[in-house]
């Protein structure tokens, strides 16, 4: 059995001719797949029953399903998604007054082993296929409409996995998501976050992508970054700065730094000064300062509020465009760095669970 979604429109046209059908049937099938996001060939009701049966003999649609959803007291919804081969990933719908944001995953697990991230303690099982990523987004879009009466306004690739280590599938997924035949979302409303793969950041520039880029920085010196992010040993800050400048030169797209504050590790004024110096070497639009969300596997802690405010005030005094980002969905482990793909049997207070079954 073949995945019907891997067939291009010309291939579907050839298939229709082989099956003795008019060529225009191919466009109908293609629309069912990428405009109506059909979950099964049987749903393609403008095709004859005989044609649907013929297609079902050789093809299938491996649709991603919501296994469980958890609802935070702040409105955030975390989903455990089941893939066709029984692997799981997690994704999050984050509602605010102005935005409906989908935080999506791109890999089952992760290979980068960042010390502060729950996903980093999971093995990387495999890359997500591009059609699975599209399913992930369409499911969150349906959920957004159902619960909040609004379509998704933004997508951030900040869930499980490193998007740039699944480059081809992420690029193809974004192509489908932004296509007028698909969700028709502006690429300017999509942000791809990377832990820092210099070679692939340059590739983004060469490919002339139109979406935004975020660098998960979290430390502004190689010594400290090596300690919490092993990827920095092969993708050091000098190379990343050069790659980011190359990306901006080629695309002019917005670049954001993500910086989680860890108590007594990267939260001093000296650390803030290191961040200012790095910020001035890259045409970054914004620095998101993120409060740390503790995980069981790591011993890092969140700094005291006065330390956070002193850090922010120093950045502002140096004319750094910085924003303090309060985490959402902490009560259901849906906040930044907490996606661990665990079973949702034990829920935190204030959260509720709903099964898709």
Long-range contacts of 165-169 (CB under 8 A, 24+ apart): 165/107, 165/111, 165/112, 165/127, 165/197, 165/200, 166/106, 166/107, 166/127, 166/128, 167/200, 167/203, 168/130, 169/106, 169/127, 169/128, 169/129, 169/130, 169/133
- Catalytic position from the list 21, 90, 136, 258: 90
For residue 67, give the 3-state DSSP assignment: strand
Give per-residue burial for 242-274: e unless 16+ CB within 10 Å, then b.
ebbbbbbeebebbbbbbbbbbeebbbeeebbeb
**CA of 107: how far to CAs of 21, 68, 162, in Å?**
38, 19, 7
Catalytic entry in 103, 114, 117, 336: 336
**Beta-ladder partners of 22:** none
Does 336 participate in catalysis according to the annotation? yes
Cα(202)–Cα(16) distance, integer angstroms: 41
| 225 contacts 110 by C-beta, under 8 angstroms | no
Q: For residues 265 and 257, what is the distance between their CA atoms, to the nearest angstrom?
A: 18
Classify residue 305 by burial, with Cβ atoms within 10 Å: 0-12, 13-18, 19+: exposed
Residue 110 falls in the annotated catalytic set: no
Contact 137, 102 (CB under 8 A): yes
**Pairing label, strands 255-261, 212-216:** parallel
CB atoms within 10 A of CB 42: 14
What burial class does residue 230 get, using C-beta atoms within 10 Å of its C-beta: 0-12 exposed, 13-18 middle, 19+ buried?
A: middle
Check if the beta carbon of residue 318 is closer than 8 Å to that of residue 271: no
Which amino acids are annotated catalytic? 90, 336
């Amino acid at each position: 059995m073949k995945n019907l979604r891997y067939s291009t429109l010309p291939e579907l046209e050839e298939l229709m001719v082989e099956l003795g059908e008019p060529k225009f049937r191919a466009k109908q099938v293609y629309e069912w797949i990428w405009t109506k996001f059909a979950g099964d060939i049987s749903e393609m009701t403008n095709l004859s029953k005989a044609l649907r049966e013929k297609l079902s003999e050789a093809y299938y649609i491996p649709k991603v399903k919501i296994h469980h959803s958890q609802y935070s007291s702040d409105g955030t919804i975390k989903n455990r998604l089941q893939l066709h081969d029984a692997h799981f990933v997690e994704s999050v719908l984050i509602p605010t007054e102005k935005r409906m944001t989908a935080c999506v995953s791109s890999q089952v697990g992760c290979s980068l082993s960042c010390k502060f991230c729950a996903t980093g303690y999971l093995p990387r099982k495999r890359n997500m296929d591009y059609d699975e990523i599209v399913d992930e987004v369409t499911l969150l879009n349906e959920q957004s409409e159902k619960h909040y009466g609004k379509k998704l306004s933004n997508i951030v690739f900040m869930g499980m996995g490193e998007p740039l280590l699944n480059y081809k599938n992420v690029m193809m997924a974004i192509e489908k998501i932004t296509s007028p035949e698909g969700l028709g979302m502006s690429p300017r409303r999509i942000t791809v976050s990377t832990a820092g793969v210099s070679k692939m950041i340059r590739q983004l520039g060469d490919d002339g992508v139109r979406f935004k880029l975020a660098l998960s920085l979290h430390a502004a010196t190689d010594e400290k970054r090596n300690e919490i992010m092993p990827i920095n040993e092969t993708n050091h800050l000098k190379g990343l700065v050069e790659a980011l400048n190359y990306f901006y030169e080629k695309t002019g797209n917005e670049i954001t730094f993500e910086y989680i504050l860890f108590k007594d590790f990267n939260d001093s004024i000296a650390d803030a000064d290191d961040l200012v110096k790095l910020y001035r070497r890259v045409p970054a639009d914004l620095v998101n300062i993120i409060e740390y969300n503790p995980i069981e596997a790591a011993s890092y802690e969140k700094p005291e509020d006065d330390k956070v405010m002193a850090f922010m005030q120093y950045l502002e005094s140096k004319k750094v465009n910085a924003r303090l980002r309060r985490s959402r969905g902490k009560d259901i482990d849906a906040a930044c760095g907490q996606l661990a793909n665990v079973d949702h049997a034990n829920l935190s207070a204030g959260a509720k669970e709903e099964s898709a079954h």
